[in-house]
Structure 1
Amino acid sequence: MSKQMQSMALTVPSGGSIESYMQMVNGIPMLTAAEEKQLAERLVQDEDLQAAQKLIMSHLRFVVHIAKGYAGYGLPQADLIQEGNIGLMKAVKRFDPTVGVRLVSFAVHWIKAEIHEFVLKNWRIVKVATTKAQRKLFFNLRKSKKRLGWFNREEIKTVAETLGVSEREVVEMESRMSNSDMAFDLSNDDDDNATTSFAPVQYLEDHSSDVADTVEQQQWDNHANQKLAAALRTLDERSQDIINSRWLLDSKQTLQDLADKYSVSAERVRQLEKNAMKKLQAAMS
């Protein structure tokens, strides 16, 4: 990866400033699908580094979201985010806008791959996980621990059945994770042109939480809220108040409450509410 692209990612501060960093990246506007595609095309066709920067910056919040899932390994949150940012930059460089998927769906594998490498290297345990199967067991075993101390026999059996491995493999991995004899290093080829049999898509994925689905749901919720706000503005002031009071406020009012407020019958309020709902549905569709 070029030094120019590496310099685009925000430097993640350590210590108390991490909260300020999270607020800053959450304040960066998200891209629409059309904007994302246009920027990606500029990067692929014209090698436009400003387009790459916008793609990276708009997805830094997703790196933070993923990195939070690895807080239980005792490593600095800032370092986990920084490694995830490297994975994001690699994903942006390889992103193909013609495939028809959003960048976050493509990038999640690269982000996790970099964080996995960082976690494994910095645990510094001899042969803790040298194969794909052992790496998968390593990360899943950490998630399965509900308390401090060693697993008892019943817990070993439960974990083995849940992860689809033998009890012996669970005991062996727990032993590796509990010892710290000497450091180890896994190969990490930073040459973008090098070929490897371990593509990022083959790394462990956490199927209990799909970041892409979460992001898409957030984007849909934001879109729906914006459309609802715009639709409400098309109503007259009284109709807006009725809809807000009957549906949107935490402390909802009854038809009679609103009837007393506007000196009309409860049936008239119900009619106004019904008409307002029809107008809202028409505006939002």
Structure 2
Amino acid sequence: MAIQENNYNSISHYMGKIKHCQPLSFEKEQELAKEYVVSKSKRAERGLTQAHLKLVVKIAHSYSGYGLPLAELIQEGNIGLLNAIKKFDPETGYRLSTYASWWIRASIQEYVLQSFSMVKLGTTAAQKKLFFNLKKMKSRMHEMEESISPEAVTNIAQTLGVKESEVMEMNMRLSKGIQSLNVTMGEDSDTEMQDFIVDDTANQEEIYSNKQQYTEKHKMLSNALETLKPREQDIIKARHLSETTETLESLGIRYDVSKERIRQIEEAAMAKIKVNVAKQASTRLI
């Protein structure tokens, strides 16, 4: 569902359209996701997309303070959502919203960074961290959105490892983009923009996103282990995947070889695992 023009009326029209899009039950989401995996069904893709359009709006609005049109942020977020649907694996048991949140944020952040590069946004890791964390840190310090106290400037600069002048300059840029949530979405509507924004659960989403990534890495490691010979598997598990690491000497006794031979087998097996995992990861990115 695209926004044709980047203006207030188009946003109002878009919000009116997605107002009736409801989230799916876990069972229905699984059904559509599995259908899409098997057949790339447009019907399934459309159903999954429409159920998460409000999530995109919620996440896009959290970036509205950067002075960019909300319509553009939503468009970029929708691109991230579509990418998430294409790569989502329903067999993990996680909700699509958990997985999609990362893709939506990544797509919007990339767009915001590209847009701000035109005004010489810093490219260091610390400056990018300042860019995306200034508003959050000010909120924790109970600072006004439009202004910032000298104490807060010093605190933020020290925490993020940037100059105080950079904090003040970034605050001035971002304060220009603050938008009100208390505007109605059309002459005939009492609905306000904030009605579409639920309580921020970013931390919870990050937790589940980390779990999703852990599950995927664990799955790739398991697949890689299965390609090894039984002795190689046993040595890797004993040396790297057990609560108590077994020594080279004890493994040498078990297999009646020198501990140097066990070390060689271990190194060769680890090299095979790295190659296999890298291959799996590259395949998932296609």
Give yes or no for contact 2:80–2:106 (8 Å, CA) kept in 1: yes
Amino acid across the alignment from 2:109: H
Deviation at 1:211, TM superposition (A): 5.2
> 1:157 pairs with 147, 154, 162, which one?
154
Whole-Å separation in 2 of the counterparts to 1:83 and 1:60:
12
Give yes or no for contact 1:90–1:110 (8 Å, CA) kept in 2: yes
Give yes or no for contact 1:120–1:129 (8 Å, CA) kept in 2: no
Whole-Å separation in 1 of the counterparts to 2:125 and 2:103:
16
1:130 maps to which residue?
123
Whole-Å separation in 2 of the counterparts to 1:125 and 1:175:
15
Give yes or no for contact 1:128–1:177 (8 Å, CA) kept in 2: no
Unaligned runs of 5+ in 2: 174-198, 206-286
Amino acid across the alignment from 1:146: M
1:93 maps to which residue?
86
Give yes or no for contact 2:153–2:167 (8 Å, CA) kept in 1: no
Cα distance change on mapping 1:72 and 1:85 into 2, 3 Å: same
Q: Which string of whole-angstrom CA distances, capped at 9 and with x for unpartnered residues, describes residues 181-201 of structure 1?
A: xxxxxxxxxxxxxxxxxxxxx
Deviation at 1:76, TM superposition (A): 1.0
Whole-Å separation in 2 of the counterparts to 1:72 and 1:154:
22
Whole-Å separation in 2 of the counterparts to 1:45 and 1:135:
39
Moved more, 134-143 or 168-177: 168-177
Amino acid across the alignment from 1:89: L
TM norm structure 2? 0.53
| Percentage of matched positions with identical amino acids | 37
Unaligned runs of 5+ in 1: 1-8, 180-207, 215-285
Give yes or no for contact 2:56–2:74 (8 Å, CA) kept in 1: yes
2:67 maps to which residue?
74
Matched, 1:111 2:108: no
Q: Which string of whole-angstrom CA distances, capped at 9 and with x for unpartnered residues, describes residues 31-80 of structure 1?
A: 11011111111111122222111111111111111111122222111111
Give yes or no for contact 2:131–2:170 (8 Å, CA) kept in 1: no
> 1:35 pairs with 13, 28, 42, which one?
28
Deviation at 1:121, TM superposition (A): 1.8
Instruction: Name the Cα RMSD after superposition.
Output: 2.8
Amino acid across the alignment from 2:31: Q
Amino acid across the alignment from 1:123: F
